[in-house]
Structure 1
């Protein structure tokens, strides 16, 4: 039989595409449902988070990101692992500065869900956009990264507490 050029996508590829499509649409509930109950997430700003924090982080970022726009591409995955590139454009709320972040994400899957998600990007490039001269001068230091990470964790904890009160 002659092939019509259709290639069935791997489960991991479909999972990544569904995740970032939900992200583009601001659908944090779908994103949250895609994480395994023992999932972890890591990036240069938040460090390592566990499933409840990961789910809350996406909700917080979507709810606070009024002008957030994302794109994704180069999705590669199989049943167990995957990766993609994605980009985010938004205004950093603390400084009102415009940010364009270029990220490489890697994933591990278990039971058809995201088990491990790691976003990698240049903290220095991000900080010089988000923080201006402070990021330009200090973005390569562990001290600034720790301060930004502490602030991100504080904001996430505050958000999670406010959501529990509702």
Structure 2
């Protein structure tokens, strides 16, 4: 197992334990994160997102939280993983099972430089938001609105952190 695979195992093991500090330490200072809900630049934003999500899960849904990961593969520059999260969506209190494939690039020091999570957004929105997700979850408008809301939530969260 190479050092980048070890980074991914450390990252997902920390995620399963909702240990955002360890997760953030797996990223480079200028890391980039992208998924259907977030587009983030730099360790402060990426780390802020993980802290915000872990804090919300710890305070409002830890009993429903479960993360499984597998198929960790990495070489000297790139990697991938498959992970599945079971959790209660904090906004609607609905239980979600999200299935995600992740792609990574790494710095020479073995830190995550880029992280892109891909998942079926319409599937997720039907679970998390129910009827609204069923009717609108597939539309670009809904995705843009979700990104605006997640950006606003992260901005507010970071404003309250040193």
Whether TM-score is above 0.5 comes out as yes
* 3-state secondary structure, aligned to 1:72: strand
2:144 aligns with one of 146, 155, 158: 146
Partners of 1:140 and 1:59 in 2: how far apart? Answer: 28
Hey, what does 1:114 align to over in structure 2? 112
Partners of 2:113 and 2:50 in 1: how far apart? Answer: 15
Hey, what does 1:3 align to over in structure 2? none
Does residue 1:57 correspond to 2:54, yes or no? no
1:43 aligns with one of 28, 35, 41: 35
Partners of 2:53 and 2:22 in 1: how far apart? Answer: 14
Tell me by how many angstroms 1:49 deviates. Answer: 3.6
Report if the CA contact (8 A) 2:40-2:46 is conserved.
no
Hey, what does 2:85 align to over in structure 1? 88
Report if the CA contact (8 A) 2:32-2:113 is conserved.
yes
2:153 aligns with one of 135, 147, 155: 155
Q: Which consecutive segments of 4 or more residues in structure 1 shift more than 4 A?
A: none
Partners of 2:41 and 2:29 in 1: how far apart? Answer: 12
Report if the CA contact (8 A) 2:30-2:41 is conserved.
no
**Structure 1: which 5+ runs fail to align?**
1-8
Partners of 1:53 and 1:102 in 2: how far apart? Answer: 23
Number of aligned residues: 156
Tell me by how many angstroms 1:56 deviates. Answer: 0.6
**Structure 2: which 5+ runs fail to align?**
none
Q: Please say which structure displays the higher CA radius of gyration.
A: 1
Hey, what does 1:72 align to over in structure 2? 69
State TM-score, norm by structure 2: 0.93
Report if the CA contact (8 A) 2:85-2:99 is conserved.
yes
